[in-house]
């Protein structure tokens, strides 16, 4: 694990045929007060100029084009495996191409992660479903902590790693799935499996 005060975060963004919306999300990632160490875009076989846009406007962003549309979940799995293989990340930050996180998003997630000895996932509640339509208001996060379903180490080199995605996961969703919370909520119970 890297410096506890400054963990390494690998952002994984999944996209398909929405280069304009993806561009806005990547700009929002650049504007984070606590920037990720790396950003990887997993492209589900886009045919809208996504690769060219990334080469021209985001040369620092990694790119993995899938030969067919495997869906969001498979795209995340490919992205996490590639980021883990590159090494050096303590956390994954998982985003859809229309997430467009507010500048404080990653900082808030990392702040919450720093208060817990272990966790599985930190998610965000709030935001809106935009279905690829750009809006002028970024998603402002409220971190919430999901009950871990298995032990998850925040260290990629820990002897208690639980598989190829042993870094903890920070997830940003553009959709509200249930009521928005006004603060962080935690659960201390852990089920291993």
The one-digit pLDDT tens for each residue of the chain (193 residues) are 445 567 899 999 999 999 999 999 999 999 999 999 999 999 999 999 999 999 999 999 999 999 999 999 999 999 999 999 988 788 999 999 998 999 999 998 898 888 888 777 776 655 554 444 444 444 555 555 544 433 333 333 333 333 334 455 555 444 333 322 222 233 333 333 3
Distance CA(106)–CA(32), nearest Å, equals 7
- Check which CATH number belongs to the domain holding 113 and give it: 3.90.550.10
Tell me whether residue 35 is in a domain: yes
Tell me whether residue 184 is in a domain: no
Distance CA(105)–CA(87), nearest Å, equals 23
The DSSP output letter for 101 is B
Residue 57: how many other CB atoms lie within 10 Å: 12
Report how many domains make up the chain: 1
Q: Which domain holds residue 151?
A: 9-171
Tell me whether residue 44 is in a domain: yes
Nearest-CA neighbor of 164 among 81, 75, 73, 83? Answer: 81
User: What is the tally of helices (H) and strands (E) in the chain?
Assistant: 4, 7
pTM above 0.75, yes or no: no
């Amino acid at each position: 694990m890297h410096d506890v005060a400054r963990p390494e975060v690998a952002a994984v963004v999944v996209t398909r045929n929405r280069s304009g919306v993806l561009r806005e999300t990547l700009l929002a990632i650049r504007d984070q007060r606590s920037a990720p160490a790396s950003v990887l875009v997993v492209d589900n076989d886009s045919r809208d100029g996504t690769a060219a846009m990334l080469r021209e406007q985001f040369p620092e962003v990694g790119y993995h084009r899938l030969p067919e549309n495997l869906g969001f979940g498979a795209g995340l799995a490919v992205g996490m495996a590639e980021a883990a293989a590159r090494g050096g990340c303590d956390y994954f930050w998982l985003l859809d191409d229309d997430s467009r996180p507010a500048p404080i998003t990653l900082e808030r997630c990392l702040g919450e992660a720093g208060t817990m000895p272990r966790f599985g996932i930190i998610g965000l509640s709030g935001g809106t479903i935009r279905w690829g339509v750009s809006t002028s208001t970024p998603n402002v996060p409220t971190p919430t902590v999901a009950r871990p379903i298995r032990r998850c180490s925040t260290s990629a080199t820990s002897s208690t790693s639980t598989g190829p995605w042993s870094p903890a996961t920070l997830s940003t969703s553009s959709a509200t799935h249930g009521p928005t919370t006004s603060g962080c909520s935690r659960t201390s119970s852990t089920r291993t499996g």
